Structure 1
């Protein structure tokens, strides 16, 4: 089955799981996230990198056994990334999450390696997708090029902590707003998924503050968010779900549009608001998203 991450897909939450901790990935499928990210990067200490790679195939098999879309986050340096990909490219891998992407050449190199490994392992060409995480000023400014750097690309993601460090500030709504908008524009222009929110991903105890950040992310145009703790999952899933009021509004718009179409009318008024083609398209997108 193709890993579908079109802008209307139902993936909302992406849970990071340190691959060297067997007890974590064994129960990750039961945490309620839409996808699992088996991490080989930041959550894995350097002395545990080899152990994490050794456990990766078992972890991938286990996640797939429970029908969870599974992503592998590799390390940044090409030298480490090659070691990671040698293990990560399997029939159980849906996508590779590439961290700290600065330019399109980085993705092109990863694509080339993945292509070779797919061929060697009799995996259907192009089956494994790529998600790029933008975590620097350079990466954000190159987001449009990165989005178009490979046919495997399915999403752009914001890395708020590293980006804030690169900018010399804390990861707040105000410091990350411009980056969020740039990433969303780059993703949408290439018809990709956008993952993120303007705030700190490390915040999981203050649920009120965290929820506000996630709500702002959805309002900006993101379609999902990374989670580093199970307590974040329910909030992300709730905020990024289509509400009943949105569904009712969309049905009302489409129904009204069908009525006026019989009279060869273009724009029309509904509940005191002018409805034209872009608004109709938004309503249809909402209805399409709940069909999956």
Structure 2
């Protein structure tokens, strides 16, 4: 369940920073956040053009408007981080994604440029948030150190394709990534940041596979998913939106324990299910999420 200090983002839609046709429409989808991509989706000889195009788009956005605006920058090793940060840090930018993060040093390099540009723009220090894309075994094993590198970090996003290549997974399925994903969930919880964001699902025609994969990730502690096409957004949003049945059950659980407390009882048997304070906290999380999404008042 997302933490209250950060907006609810179920879907993160990627868009190539050099593709005018896609960028013209990307903010008109049902995605909760848009990730303007300067990295893998943009050939090196077009990165300068993409930086300019993305900068112009951000100039027309506002910080708290939906969908929230993120930019996936290039890894600091490419030595163009300062140029990117200087162009994209504007009022309309909510956060950045740093790809292939493997160490705290990766974060510190980017933060130095963010600090300088925020000061230059008259912004509050730390306003621009960071999501760390974890895409390798080194990134997984360094996750705790990475989170401690900056207060800007709000969470992780998992990169399945690069991770599969890194550890030589031939034909990946959900269980191929169970350990690294679970590790990110545990580290995120321990350091009280947002639950991790799931990787893109590359088969655009397999809607059933997208739903099952998203449910699997949700059930091990992820919240939200990256997408590469608008047609995937409705399924992703649906998976991470409480159903009417879940809301009804959650409210019943809360009411049942409140009634039990009036009778000085710490737990209650509800239709054969044992309900205690831990179950109630989960139910309260569902209700709070539903209120944040405007499903209930």
Category of TM-score, reference length = shorter chain: over 0.9
Measure, in 1, the Cα distance between the counterparts of 2:191 and 2:290. Answer: 23
Check whether the contact 2:18–2:42 (CA below 8 A) recurs between aligned residues: yes
Query: How many Å separate the matches in 2 of 1:167 and 1:240?
Result: 29
Quote how far apart the aligned CAs of 1:168 are.
0.5
| SS at 2:195 equivalent | strand
CA shift at 1:63, angstroms? 4.4
Conservation of the 8 A alpha-carbon contact between 2:17 and 2:54: yes
- 1:64 and 1:171, CA in 2 relative to 1: closer, same or farther beyond 3 A? farther
- Counterparts of residues 26-37 of structure 1 (less than 5 Å): 26-37=24-35
CA distance, structure 2, for counterparts of residue 56 and residue 176 of structure 1: 32
Deviations 1:11-57 (A, max 9, x none): 10000011111221111111211110011001111111010011112
Give 1:241-252 correspondences, 5 Å limit: 241-252=241-252
Distance 1:213 1:196 in 2: 13
Residues in 2 aligned to 1:72 and 1:281: alpha-carbon distance in whole angstroms: 34
CA deviations on 1:103-152 (whole Å, 9 max, x unpaired) are 12211221222111111110111111000010000101111222222111
Q: How does 1:20-59 map to 2 (within 5 A)?
A: 20-59=18-57
Residue 105 of structure 2 corresponds to residue 105 of structure 1: yes
CA distance in 2, matches of 1:206, 1:7: 34
Paired position in structure 1 for 2:187? 186
Once residues 129 and 184 of structure 1 are traced to their aligned partners in structure 2, the CA distance between those partners, rounded to angstroms, is 19
Distance 1:193 1:164, change over 3 A: same
Name the residue aligned to 2:230. Answer: 230
How many residue pairs match? The answer is 288
* Separation (CA, whole Å) in 2 of partners of 1:43 and 1:114: 23
Secondary structure of 1:291's counterpart equals helix
- Note the 1:161-180 alignment, pairs <5 A: 161-169=161-169, 170-180=171-181
2:75 aligned with 1:76, yes or no? yes
How far apart are residue 171 of structure 1 and its match? 3.3
**Could you say what secondary structure the match of 2:226 adopts?**
strand
Structure 2: which 5+ runs fail to align? Answer: 293-297
Deviating above 6 A after TM superposition, structure 1's stretches of 4 or more consecutive aligned residues are none
In 1, the alpha carbon distance for the partners of 2:80 and 2:257 equals: 54
Gapped regions of structure 1 (runs ≥ 5)? none
What is the alpha-carbon distance in structure 1 between the residues aligned to residue 227 and residue 141 of structure 2?
24
Which secondary structure does the structure 2 equivalent of 1:20 belong to?
coil
Check whether the contact 1:250–1:287 (CA below 8 A) recurs between aligned residues. Answer: yes
Between the aligned partners of 1:63 and 1:240, the Cα distance in structure 2 is 26
Contact 2:11/2:224 (<8 A) preserved: yes
Give the TM-score taking structure 1 as reference length.
0.93
CA drift of 1:90 comes to 1.0
Q: Distance in 2 between matches of 1:154 and 1:160?
A: 20
What secondary structure does 1:193 align onto?
Answer: coil
